Structure 1
Amino acid sequence: MQFRIDENKFKKDYGIDKGSVKHSTGKNIKLLPYTTKYEKKHKEQIEKFNYCIGEFCRLIYNKKLNSEDVKLDDIDLFIKEVDVNSNDKIALKSIIRTLFFDENGNMNTFHPKLLNYINMPKSDYNLGLAKFLYDVLLNNEEGKKAKEKIIDCFNYKSDNAMELLILKNLPQLKEDKEGKSSYKCICSNVSNLFKEDLDFILNDPALFTSEFEDLVKYYYFFYISQFAIKISNFFDANRNITEEVYFNLDWETVSKSRTSYTMGWKMLESNMKNLFTHVNILEILNANDSIEKKYDYIDINNAIENCSGYEMASLYQNIKNIKNEYINAVDDVDWDDYISVNKYSSNDIKQEIYDLFKRIDYQFINSSRKKPYESYRKWFEEYCKSNFLRRRGSLGYALNITQERLLFITKLCIKDKEKIKLKDLFEEYKRRGIYFDRDSQDKIVDLFEKLNIIEKKSDSGDAQYVRSIL
C-alpha cells in the first residue's frame, strides 16, 4: 500500500518542531486557488472575470502577454501596410474606431483570437484562478482534443476584409512552454461535462467568442459547489455523480418552505464553511514526497479497502501519531472542551482521520486563526454574490438564475437538436448541477410558452417538447 504520511515531512511542513503550527497549504496537494488573505479591495478583481478568461486562453495557446509590448489602442498599428493617402487614412481610422473599439477606446472581442489579448495586472488574483480552472476543467489527457479544437478556433480565418486587416496586424504574443497540471481534479463529472459543452460552442467561432466567458463563469461555480459538497461527504463521496443544488429564478418569489431555499445557498454555504480545514487535512495526509499520487478522501477510501490486516494496523498507528503530534503542537486552545464525534465506528483509520479533521476545525474556530479560516472561503462567496446570488429580504441570499443565464444553459442542453422533451431538459439541467423545485419548473414552462419555444401537450397526452433556441 502506498498511502502513508511521512511524519518528518509533516513536522517540517507544519513547523511542529519549532513550537508553533503553521497551516500552509498547496505544497503537497493543490486543490483550490484561494488564500487566507482576502480583503474587501479584492472584490474588484473578482468582478473582472474577463482577466481570468484571457489568461485561461493563453494557457491553452501556450502564449504569454507582455502588456508593455501589446498596445491594441494604437490604430496606426493595424494600417501600417495599407497604401492610402492622408485624407483617406483619417477616414479609415475613423471607420476602424467605430467598428472595432468601444467608447472607452478598448478593442471589441470580435474574433476568438482576441480573447488571448485580454490584459491582466501581474499581481491579479485571476492569474491563479485561470490556472486552477484550466487544470481542473481541461488540462488532462481527455482535454487534448478540446485544446486542439480551441487553437483551430483561435486561428479561424474571417471572411470579413476589415476583420482580416486587424487580425493580420495584431502584435505577436510571446511563446510560452506548456505547463503541467498542478491542481488535482476532484469533480470529474464537472470536467467531463465542461468538455462536452465546450465542444458544442466551438462548432461556431462567433458563438465561442461571445459565450466562452459565460461558459467558464458557470463551470467555475459548478465545480466549486460540487467540490464543497463532495468533500463534506468524506469517504462516502462519489466524484462521478452530480450533487443536488437548487436555484431560484430571478423573477419568482422565495419562501423558507421552498426546497429551492433549504437545498440552495443555505445548504451550499454550510458545506463551504470548513473548506480551509479540508485543504489542510488533505495537505497533511499527502505529506510524503516518495508517493507521486495525490490522495483525496475517495482515493484514501480505496487505499484503505485494499489494505491487508498488517497494513491497516500500521496505517492506523501512523494517523494516530500525526494526530497526537498536531494536538500537542496546538497549545493555544483548550482541548478539554473538544467533543469527539463517532462517525466511522466500523473503521478505525477513517475515524482517526475524521477526528483529526474535527480537531483542526475546532482549533480554527476557537483560536486567533478564525479570521484566516473564514477569509479562505470569501473568494468564492464574493464571486457568488456578484454572479449567482440575490438577496431575498429577511431570508438573506438565495441562489439565483437570470432569464439570460437560463436560456444560455438551455442552449447548451439542447445543442444542435431541433427539440428536446421537457422532462429531458430538466434532467440536462440537473447534469449541470442546476435543480429546480416544482414551483420553479412551472415558472420555466410559463416562460417558454411566452417565448413560443414549447410545444404544448396534444389531446392524446403526448410529451411536451422545447424547441431549439439557437
Structure 2
Amino acid sequence: MERLTELRKSLRVKGEGEKRELSHIINKSASFLPFQTRNPERAKFNDGFLPVVGEFIRNSEGLKIDKPVETEKVIEHIKAEVRMDSSDEPYFEKVIGNFISGSKGMKVIHPFMYKYVPLSDNQEAVGEKSIGLYLNDALLERDNSVFSEVFDKTDQEHVLIKLVREHMPALDEDEIENKYTQPLEYVSDFFKEDLNFLSHHKDFFIQYFELLLAYYYFFSITQFTMKVNQMDKADKSGPTPLYYNLDWEASSKNRAAYKRGYSQVKTAVRNLLVHVNTLEHLNFIFETKNADYLELLELYESASPDEQESIKQAISEWIREYASIVLKEEVDLEDDEAVHDLVKELFYTIKEGYSQPSRSGTESRYALGVEQIGKKYFLKTRGSLGHTLNVSQDFLLLMTAVCVRSEKLSLKQLFKELEKRGLFFDRQSRETIQELFDKLNLIEKKSDSGDAQYVKPIL
C-alpha cells in the first residue's frame, strides 16, 4: 500500500519472513520533543540552563558558535583601542577581566552576551543543542521580534559594556532547520507574552531570563506529556491542572500537590515514547507532518469516504505488519473497526513492542527528558511523598511579576493568571502565598475579602 511505503523506508524495514526487522526511528514525520534516548547525549543541566539559553539566542538570530570566546583576546583588542600608560595596563586588564569573566566562564553583563555562551564541552551538547532548537521552533515559533529590542538597545550603556560589545567577535551565520512543532498554542502564546514583557526590564531580564526559559520548557514538555496520553480526549484549550507545593511549606498525602501533581506526570510519561512512535507512524500513514491525535482525527473526519477507508486499511495493515516483524505474531482485527479504535490498537501494539527484551529500558531513558529538568528546578524530594512539583520564592516572584505586569491585579485574578501558565495551588498554598506577599508589602488591601485584595506590580 502506497501510504506505507515511506513509513517502511523511514523505519528501515528489511529482511524476509521471520528475519524481517525494523528500527524505531522517530522525529522524521512528527517532531514534538527534543529528548535523547542515549544517556551521554541527554542534557543533565549541571551548569544550569545557560548553555541552552545561549543556543536558543543563536538560533533566534541565525548564528552559530564554533568554539568558546577567548576572553584574553577580547581584553587585548579592547586594550589596543584605549590610550593608557603602560603602568596602568595590568590594572586595566584585571578590571576588564573581572567585568566579563567569572568562576563559571563568561559573565552575562548585557543580554547581547547570551549568544556567546557556549554549549557544554561534552556529549551533552547534543541534547542542549536540540533543546535550544526546540525553544526556538516550538515556543518562540521563530519570532524573535518579541524580545530582540533588549539585545539591540545601546542607549545609556555603561562605557565598559560598550567597549566589550564593540570588541566581541562576530559569529558566523547558520541555516537553522525548522524541526519541532507546538500543538499547544497556549504554551507558546504565554511564553511570547511573558518574554516580551520581561524584555522591557533589562536588569530583571538578565537576572531571570534563564529561569523563565527553563520553566517554559518544563511547562511545554509536561503539558505535552499529559495531553498526548489523553489521546483523542485531550482538551487543548488550556493546561491540564498540575499542582505545586511552595518550597518553604510542609506537605502531606492529603495535599493536591501529592494527589494531582507530579504523580500524574510520572504515570503519563511511562507511555511518552510509545505515543511519539505512534504519532510518527500515523503521520506517515496520513501523509502529513507534525499532527497530533486530535489533528489526525480531524483530517480523517474531513476526508472523503474513499480516503477514510484507505486510511483505515493502511492502519490495519501496518498493525499486522508491525506485529509480525517486532512481536513475531499475528494480530486479529475486526473487519470494520472505527479509526479511533485502530489508533489505540496501534499504540498498544507498539507498547508491546517496546516491552521486548531487546528494547528494555528505552522508554524509561526517554522519560528522563522530563525528570532531568524537573529535578534541577521544579521538583523537590519530600521523604515518603517522593518528588512533588515545587515553586521557590524567587520563581514565584518572577511569575508574579510577569502576571501582574504594570497594573495592580486582584489576588484572585493573579491565581487565574498563574493557572493559565500551568501553576496550580491548593487553598493552603494560596494562603501561604498571601502571607508572603503581605510580608513583602505587595498586597494592597481594600477590605478583608479576597476579591478586594490587590497585588502591586513588582516591576
With the length of structure 2 as denominator, give the TM-score of the two structures: 0.91
* 1:373 is the counterpart of 2:369: no
Partner SS for 1:398: strand
In 2, Cα distance between the equivalents of 1:87 and 1:11?
72
Partner SS for 2:389: strand
Matches within 5 A, 1:83-102: 83-102=83-102
Contact 2:100/2:107 (8 A) holds in 1 = yes
Indicate the RMSD between aligned Cα atoms, in angstroms.
2.5
Unaligned runs of 5+ in 2: none
Contact 2:412/2:450 (8 A) holds in 1 = no
* 1:217 is the counterpart of 2:214: yes
In 2, Cα distance between the equivalents of 1:133 and 1:459?
42
Q: 1:447 to 1:292 in 2, by over 3 A?
A: same
Deviates most, 365-374 or 22-31:
365-374
* 1:301 is the counterpart of 2:291: no
- Identity value in percent: 32
Q: 1:5 to 1:391 in 2, by over 3 A?
A: farther
**Quick one: which amino acid aligns to residue 212 of structure 2?**
L
Q: 1:311 to 1:77 in 2, by over 3 A?
A: same
Matches within 5 A, 1:179-258: 179-258=176-255
In 2, Cα distance between the equivalents of 1:5 and 1:416?
57
In 2, Cα distance between the equivalents of 1:355 and 1:292?
20
In 2, Cα distance between the equivalents of 1:10 and 1:462?
56
- Show the counterpart of 1:162: 160
Contact 1:30/1:183 (8 A) holds in 2 = yes
- Show the counterpart of 1:355: 345
- Show the counterpart of 1:106: 105
**Quick one: which amino acid aligns to residue 321 of structure 1?**
E
**Quick one: which amino acid aligns to residue 360 of structure 1?**
I
Total equivalences in the alignment: 449
Q: 1:387 to 1:348 in 2, by over 3 A?
A: same
User: Displacement, 1:459?
Assistant: 6.2
In 2, Cα distance between the equivalents of 1:236 and 1:224?
18
Deviates most, 403-412 or 75-84:
75-84
Unaligned runs of 5+ in 1: none
Q: 1:116 to 1:352 in 2, by over 3 A?
A: same
- Show the counterpart of 1:444: 433
Deviates most, 272-281 or 81-90:
81-90
In 1, Cα distance between the equivalents of 2:425 and 2:117?
35
With the length of structure 1 as denominator, give the TM-score of the two structures: 0.89
Matches within 5 A, 1:298-337: 298-331=294-327
* 1:453 is the counterpart of 2:453: no
User: Displacement, 1:98?
Assistant: 3.6
Partner SS for 2:380: strand
User: Displacement, 1:433?
Assistant: 0.3
- Show the counterpart of 1:79: 79
In 1, Cα distance between the equivalents of 2:246 and 2:104?
36
- Show the counterpart of 2:170: 172
* 1:128 is the counterpart of 2:125: no
User: Displacement, 1:392?
Assistant: 0.7
User: Displacement, 1:284?
Assistant: 0.7
In 2, Cα distance between the equivalents of 1:35 and 1:94?
42
- Show the counterpart of 2:116: 117
* 1:65 is the counterpart of 2:71: no
Contact 2:65/2:172 (8 A) holds in 1 = yes
Matches within 5 A, 1:412-423: 412-417=402-407, 419-423=408-412
- Show the counterpart of 2:54: 54
User: Displacement, 1:194?
Assistant: 0.5
Contact 1:73/1:106 (8 A) holds in 2 = no
**Quick one: which amino acid aligns to residue 38 of structure 1?**
N
- Show the counterpart of 1:33: 34
User: Displacement, 1:15?
Assistant: 3.5
Q: 1:122 to 1:287 in 2, by over 3 A?
A: farther
In 1, Cα distance between the equivalents of 2:304 and 2:44?
53
In 2, Cα distance between the equivalents of 1:86 and 1:442?
62
In 2, Cα distance between the equivalents of 1:257 and 1:105?
42
Q: 1:234 to 1:240 in 2, by over 3 A?
A: same
